Amino acid sequence: MPSLEEELFPSTPGKFKIDRSHAMNRTFHRCFASTSTMFLWALFLIALTASYLSFQSFVDSGSRYFTSSWGGIHWEKQVRTSAQIHRQNGKVVLVTGAAGFVGTHVSLALKKRGDGVVGLDNFNSYYDPSLKKARRALLTSHNVFIVEGDVNDAKLLAKLFDVVAFTHVMHLAAQAGVRYAMENPQSYVHSNIAALVTLLEACKSANPQPAVVWASSSSVYGLNEKVPFSESDRTDKPASLYAATKKAGEAITHTYNHIYGLSITGLRFFTVYGPWGRPDMAYFSFTKNILQGKPITVYRGKNRVDLARDFTYIDDIVKGCVASLDTAGKSTGSGGKKRGAAPYRIYNLGNTSPVTVPTLVAILERNLKMKAKKNVLDMPGNGDVPFTHANISLARRELGYKPTTDLPTGLKKFVRWYLSYYGYVPGKVVN
């Protein structure tokens, strides 16, 4: 078998004599030159690839800079400033859904007493975003900064928890409404389940872990016929997808409490109403239609029984929310690991005095100085329930919760706000 030298320099008789040492050196230099060239080409390709990746990174970051509404030195300064505490032993609270109805009022209450408050809201179009932006302007005037973003954005949440060590989270962001679930069911899964899990993941990984207070709903009682509704009642017969997502939320929060030591308090709100309310709520849409001379639809239950709701004024709900924050025990986990048992609580927040819908309409008519054009129909099977009635004895005992505003008083305040906000004159039909 020929040697390597023989493969390179075959010993063949010929017409001339080869200087083997010279030829070998020349071939070596050729190989070296060839290898050097390949090496230089490799370096060139690596540099070209690196340049492309750097440029792509620049484009991506630049794109995010221009399209994202969060991040940057100025943004971080706004977040930190909003989170500053101005009272002894104050709290630092992340309020999700801060531009929503309840979120706005809770944020104002916390800020006014000296707590640090940072809001988070995605300003979706479930109802007129201009109302949410007006609420944001109100909060801004009280030095509450609202981050525009989605609770499902894990990177945004991680950034917020990196910038601010929140002591508490008030999770009020949700896809509300019972009937809308029949039109857009995915929005309820996205906002009420997926977003809740994303938020809890951020909370359990935070160090220190915040205590979490979140909005469940009286809707979880579903088809329960026992009244008044108590926290110990069964909630396994939801009447709507909205109710089902809130029930799922209670199970999910219990899991995070059990595994990760998060302090969790769930609040079952009962038909909240008042100034800066939601346009999709009956009292709000009734007011609008009465003023515009349009008919309103009043539903009734089986056997022509009037529907009834435990209408709860916003100021009373806010008191319950704040009391829940103040009495929330500490989370016991650290870095996603549970160190001990943490509190898990659920409370009804209602007025415990149900009022029929026709009575609600009559009160609005008096305050608006106008008669409503009513279409009375049987309640369709769209997820609504015929009545709600809260047992608030547990919240009264453990939170000191005591509602003080009856429906006539609360609606009078709402109508005053509505007329001022929309520029209507009582007793005058607006075309």
Give the Cα separation of 123 and 102 in Å (integer).
14
Determine which one of 188, 242, 260, 313 is catalytic.
Answer: 242
Would residue 242 show up in a list of annotated catalytic residues for this protein? yes
Q: How does DSSP assign 366-402, residue by residue?
A: HHHTS--EEEEEEPPSSS--SB--B--HHHHHHH---
Give the Cα separation of 284 and 286 in Å (integer).
5
Q: Is residue 301 within 8 Å of residue 379, measured between CB atoms? A: yes
Can you state the percent helix, strand and coil of the chain, rounding each to 5? 50, 15, 35
Q: Pick from 261, 263, 410: which is nearest to 337 by CA?
A: 261
Give the Cα separation of 186 and 48 in Å (integer).
45
Number of Cβ within a 10 Å radius of residue 40? 10
Q: Is residue 413 within 8 Å of residue 334, measured between CB atoms? A: no
Q: Which spans in 83-163 are helix H? A: 101-112, 129-141, 154-163
Token pair, residue 355, equals 């009022």
Residues annotated catalytic, as ranges: 242
